[in-house]
Chains A and B, each alone.
Chain A
C-alpha cells in the first residue's frame, strides 16, 4: 500500500487547510474584492470630503469700508476689506451682493459704542460684528470636553464598522456551513477531519478575513486623516482604534461560532434567514444602542462590559477618555471568557447537527450529546 504519501494530519494542520480554503475561496470572489474596494473608497472619501466641506465654509467675509470706519478691520483674519468713498456707494455694493456687509461712520453713536454702523442685506454678519467688538480675556479652568458631535461620529463609526463586518463575515461563515451541508460534501469531509477542526478552520479563516478588512479600514482612515491634516484627531483616536481592533478580533470569534452553529441547524440556503435572526439581532443591538444612547454614560458604560456590545462600547469610552487603565483589560477578559464558553456550545451544536439533513434541527436536540 502506498502509505508513504500519507502523513498523520494534526488537528492544527487540518484547521490550517480548512481556514486556507475559506480565505482563498473568498479572496478570489469578485463580489468580495469589489465590496472591499468600495468600503475603502467610502471611508477615505467620507473623511476627505467632510474635511473639504468644513474648511470651505470658512471663506472670507467681504466688507466695504467708508473712510476710516473699517480701519480697525484691516488685516483681521477672515475679513476682506474694500475701500469706498460714500455711504451710498457702500449700500449699493451690499445691495448688488458684491460685498457681504459695509462699515460706515455715524455721528450719533451711543456713548461707549464704536462710532460706526454695520450695513448688511438681510442677515447680521456675526463674524464681522465680533471682529468689531471688544472681547474680554477668557481663562478656562478645565480642558474642554470632546465635542459632542465628534463623539457621536466616532461612536457611530465604531458601531457601523462592527455591524457591517460582523454581518458580512458572519453571513459568509453561515453560507459556507450550509453550502457544505447542502452539497453533502460534509459527509466526505467528516471522514477526513473531525467536525471541530472543520468549525475551527472556518472560524479562524473568516476571522482572519474580517480582521484584515478592519485593519485595512483603520489604515485607510489613518492615512486619510493625515492627508487632510487632521493629525490631532488621529492621535486622539489612535488608542481607541487599536482597542477596537483587539475587541473586534475576540468578539468576532464569538459571533462566528454563533453564526456557524446556527447555520448548521438547517440544510438549505433558503432556510438560513430564519435561523440566523437571533444572531443578527445580537449584532444589530450594539449598533442601535450606540446611535440612540451615545450621550448616555450609563448605557455606554454597561455596553462596554456586555460581551456583544463591548467592541463598540469600550472603544467609544476610551475615545471619550472616560476609562481607567484597567477597564478595557477587564472587559476584554469578560469578552474572552464568553467567547470560550460560546465557542464550546457552538461546537457542540455544530457537531451534532452537521449530518442531520432535511428539516431544521431543534436546538434542544443539537445540544444533546
Chain B
C-alpha cells in the first residue's frame, strides 16, 4: 500500500498542498480527480520524489521511500516526453535498464508491451514519427516496461481514442490484479467513475473526499429515489411527504425519507408491475460538484 501522509507544499507564499493524506491500496485502481491547479500533479511529483515536500511523508508498505524504492515505480508525467529520435523498442529497453533491469529481460518486456499496446508495426520507428495517440501508448509502455511495483500516472487517458482507452485500461487492470497499487489522475470524471475502485478528490490543495467509489456514492446519496413502473406514475405526486423532481411516463425521481419511500413502493406494487425501485446514487460529477464547493 502506498500512503501519503500529511504532505504540504508551498511555492513562495502560495500554498499548493495542505496536509494531504490518502492511501492507494494494492491491487486497486485509484482515481485522483480535481480541477486544474488543484494539486494533482504536485502530489504525484512529490510521490515520485522529483519534487520535495515541505512536510509530510510518502510511505510504501509502511516504510519511507528512498531512491531505490522509487526506482520500482512506474511514472507517467503530466508533460509527455520521450527521446524524439530514439526508436520505440530501443527507448523502452533503455528506460528499463536505467531502472536496473537486465538487458535481455528488458528487451522481452518491451516487446511484450509493444504487442499488448498494439504498437508492433511501430516497434522500430522513432517516437517523433508516431501519431499522438501512439506516442501516448509508447509513454504508457515507458511507465510499465520495468514491471513497476507501484504505478503513478498523470492523465494516462487524455488524447486516447475510446478503443485505446479500453486497451490501456486492460493493461492497467492486469497490473492492479497482480497487486500493484495504481494511482491515476484524470479530469474525465466519467472515465474515473467507470474504471476506478477508489476515488480521491482534491481541490485547492486539500483532499475533499477519499474512499471506495461505491462508499462515496452511498454516503453522498442523500434522499433521492427512482421508480420505474409499467403504467403512468403520475399518482406519486399525490402521496404525502414526497416531492417529485422528475417525471416521465412510468419513470419518476423523487425526494423522500426512507419511510415515505417505502409507502411509495407499496402503492406501486398494488397498482401493478414495478420494474425498478432504488435509491438514486449520485454520479461522480455530482459528488465532485458537491464536495469541491
Contact = CB atoms under 8 A, between A and B. Distances in A.
A14 B98 contact: yes
Contacts, number: 83
23 contacts: A1-B147, A1-B179, A5-B102, A5-B109, A6-B99, A7-B100, A9-B98, A9-B100, A17-B97, A18-B98, A179-B84, A180-B83, A183-B83, A185-B81, A185-B82, A185-B83, A188-B143, A189-B98, A191-B70, A192-B71, A192-B95, A192-B98, A355-B50
Given A2-B147, A188-B75, A188-B77, A183 B84 contact: yes
Interface string B42-82: 00010011110000000000000001101111010101111
Interface in B254-273: none
A25 B91 CA distance: 11
A220 B89 CA distance: 37
Given A17-B94, A183-B83, A185-B82, 14 more contacts: A5-B147, A6-B72, A7-B100, A25-B85, A179-B83, A184-B79, A188-B77, A188-B143, A189-B98, A191-B70, A191-B73, A191-B75, A192-B98, A355-B50
Looking at B67, B98, B99, B147, which has the most chain A CB atoms within 10 Å of its CB? B98
Nearest to A18: B98
B55 to A, nearest CB: 18
B10 to A, nearest CB: 16
Contacts of A8: 68, 100
Nearest to B72: A6
Nearest to B97: A17
A357 B98 CA distance: 23
Nearest to A6: B100
Contacts of B50: 187, 190-191, 355
B241 interface: no
Contacts of B81: 182-188
B4 interface: no
Main secondary structure of the interface of A (DSSP, over half): helix
B280 to A, nearest CB: 42
Interface in A316-369: 355, 357
Given A21-B94, A179-B83, A9 B75 contact: no
Nearest to B49: A191
B71 A191 contact: yes
A14 B95 CA distance: 11
A183 B129 CA distance: 15
A23 interface: no
Nearest to B75: A191
A6 B94 contact: no
Looking at B51, B67, B81, B105, which has the most chain A CB atoms within 10 Å of its CB? B81
Contacts of B79: 184, 187, 357
A187 B101 contact: no
Contacts of A192: 71, 95, 98-99
Interface string A43-86: 00000000000000000000000000000000000000000000
Looking at A8, A29, A184, A187, which has the most chain B CB atoms within 10 Å of its CB? A187
Contacts of B70: 191
A355 B83 contact: no
Contacts of A190: 50
A239 interface: no
Interface residues of B, number: 38
B101 A6 contact: yes
Interface in A177-209: 179-180, 182-194
Looking at B51, B71, B100, B149, which has the most chain A CB atoms within 10 Å of its CB? B100
A1 B147 CA distance: 9
Contacts of B75: 187-188, 191
B149 A25 contact: no
Contact of A193 (B80, B85, B98, B101): B98
Contacts of A1: 147, 149, 178-179
A180 B79 CA distance: 12
A118 B108 CA distance: 89
A179 B128 CA distance: 13
A341 to B, nearest CB: 26
Nearest to B105: A5
B100 A17 contact: no
B160 interface: no
B142 interface: yes
Interface string A1-37: 1100111110000100110010001000100000000
Interface string B230-242: 0000000000000
A185 B94 CA distance: 12
B210 interface: no
Contacts of A25: 83, 85-86
A305 to B, nearest CB: 40
B28 interface: no
Given A6-B146, A25-B86, A183-B84, A188 B95 contact: yes
A181 B127 CA distance: 16
Contacts of B86: 25
When A and B form their complex, which 3 residue pairs have the shortest distance between CB atoms, in order from nearest?
A183-B81, A184-B81, A184-B79
A184 B82 CA distance: 7
Contacts of B149: 1
B69 to A, nearest CB: 11
B147 A184 contact: no
A7 B102 contact: yes
A5 B101 contact: yes
A112 to B, nearest CB: 82
A192 B72 CA distance: 8
